[in-house]
Structures are given as C-alpha cells and as structure tokens.
Amino acid sequence: MSTGIERIMESRRIDRSSGYSVFTRRLVRFVMRGARVVEGNIHVTEGQSLAIFLQTRRNIASLTEARWIGPGMQVVPHMAFRTDKILWASSLDDGFPVAGGVRAVPNPRWAEITLDDGTIMHVGMYLADEQRLTDYFEATPPFLPVMQATVVGSGRLLGPVAINTSAILAVREIEKLT
C-alpha cells in the first residue's frame, strides 16, 4: 500500500529510482497587488508556458528560491502566493514562453488596459483582425498572455507578460504603437 507521499510523487510522475523529475525550474517575476515584486523559480513540465502554469493553479502558486525585490531582501527556500493577488507575471528565463499554444498573428492588436491598482498598460495582444475585443476577453482564462506590455507613464517596457484578468478594471483598443 502506498503512503500519501508516495501517491503524490507518483501523481507528479517522478521516477524516484533515477532521481529524474519531469519538472524544469524556470525563473519568473510576480508583480503583486500593493506594489510588491517577488522573483523565484516555478517548476513546470516540458512545453508548459507561464500563462498555462498560472491557469492551472486554483488559488496558490509556489516559488522556490524566492525573494522579495528590495534592499536587503534574502532568498528563502519556498514561498507561496495567492494567485488572485498577482497583477502580472513575467518570465525571466529566455527559454520559457509566457504564452503557449497561441496562434501566431502577423500584427498584434493593441489595447490600453487599466488595472484595479491604477496601473495603465499598453499591450500587444494575440488577437485576430476580425475578432472582437470583448469576445476575446470573455474567452480569456484567468491570466491573459500578451506579446508586449509597456507601463504608461514610466515608459517601462515589460516584454511578454501574463496579466491577471481579475485585476483588469477597463480595456480599450488603441492604435498601433510605434
């Protein structure tokens, strides 16, 4: 009979005899409500994107080797976060995509997104020419992957990010950014 730990390990498909895990560590950044930023590693399976990882977390996302960004902050072995408190997430690992399985679009559609903390972002979205913006947002899972994001006012280019849709206060389509 299997113990609880053995069942968990089996469900995570870890081959204990070889010490091999199907999980890969990926470095990410979470920008949290309350203007806090944390960095650390998530553990994902082959081919899994950041947005898909976040969508599969019902309430909690765990980071290993995590640290709050700020003076004197130290790395801790493990921290867990409520996913509804994440405003947006980004990959700090060049080999780890924010979006996976998203149909490539030749020209992104641009929108201005206002978050509930007052942050305004200009984002390039994976949105087809004929697709309505409201339909796109209605069909979007909890974390919206965007091709590029810029924080308005600071001019800070974030690159690809996954935005928590529950943090979106308003959205409007805008002209292509130059």
In the chain, the N- to C-terminal Cα span, in Å, equals 63
**Residue 167 has what pLDDT?**
95
**Residue 62 has what pLDDT?**
94
Write the Ramachandran bin of 20: left for phi over 0, alpha for psi from -120 to 50, otherwise beta.
beta
- Same domain (yes/no): 149, 117: yes
- Same domain (yes/no): 87, 8: yes
- Residue pair 157/148 in contact (Cβ under 8 Å)? The answer is yes
Q: Which domain holds residue 138?
A: 109-174
- Same domain (yes/no): 118, 84: no
- Residue pair 138/144 in contact (Cβ under 8 Å)? The answer is no
Q: Does residue 100 sit within a domain? A: no
Low-confidence ranges of the chain (pLDDT < 70): 1-21, 101-105, 177-178
DSSP lists the bridge partners of residue 20 as 15
Distance CA 104, CA 145 (A): 12
The pLDDT tens digits of the residues spanning 43-60 come to 998 889 999 999 888 899
Q: Does residue 102 sit within a domain? A: no
**Residue 165 has what pLDDT?**
93
User: pTM of this prediction?
Assistant: 0.82
CATH number at residue 117: 2.30.30.100
**Residue 4 has what pLDDT?**
45
